Amino acid sequence: MPANEDEMQILDQWSNRLAQALQILDLKVDHELLLDLARKSAGSVTHAAAPVTTFMVGYAAGLQAGTGSAGNRGNAAAAVAKAADTALQLCEDGHDGGPARKGWADTAQ
């Protein structure tokens, strides 16, 4: 994870370039939250869980917040926080906790 200001600046520049390329120009990325989520999922599950977890949190947040003109920054930030909180709670259980202990696994959704 970024250890200094230079790395955070590079990460911010990369995020801006990627957002422009993906045509999501108003995206504000909470780098600290995503890096913490990646670190915790890698440490409590397996290293490969980091990118999978952050992708799934982003996807869930996008679905909840809405897309295009239906979504807004406030909705997006709240959706990311909610999805990340769920993932971080699962990280506390580690890989043996299993998804059925929390979340929607037993609710047929």
Task: Write the pLDDT tens digit of every residue in 65-105.
Answer: 775 544 566 777 788 888 888 888 888 876 666 555 555 55
Is a pLDDT exceeding 90 seen at residue 51? Answer: yes
What's the CA gap between 23 and 80, in Å, rounded?
Answer: 19
What long-range pairs does 55-60 form, CB within 8 A, spacing at least 24? 56/83, 56/87, 57/83, 57/84, 57/86, 57/87, 58/83, 60/86
Residue 82, domain member (yes or no): yes
Would you tell me how many other CB atoms lie within 10 Å of the CB of residue 19? 15
Residue 41, domain member (yes or no): yes
Residue 83, domain member (yes or no): yes
Residues of the domain holding 53: 30-101
Residue 7, domain member (yes or no): no
Torsions phi, psi of 89, nearest 5?
-65, -40
Higher pLDDT, 55 or 25: 55
Residue 17, domain member (yes or no): no
Q: What is the pLDDT of residue 48?
A: 95
* Distance from chain centroid for Cα 99: 17
Q: What is the pLDDT of residue 106?
A: 53
Q: What is the pLDDT of residue 1?
A: 52
pTM: 0.69
For residue 87, CA distances in Å to 20, 21, 23, 26, 97 come to: 27, 27, 27, 25, 12
Mean pLDDT of the chain: 79
Query: Which of 28, 105, 96 lies closest to 61 in space, CA to CA?
Result: 28
Residue 65, domain member (yes or no): yes
Give me the number of domains the chain comprises: 1
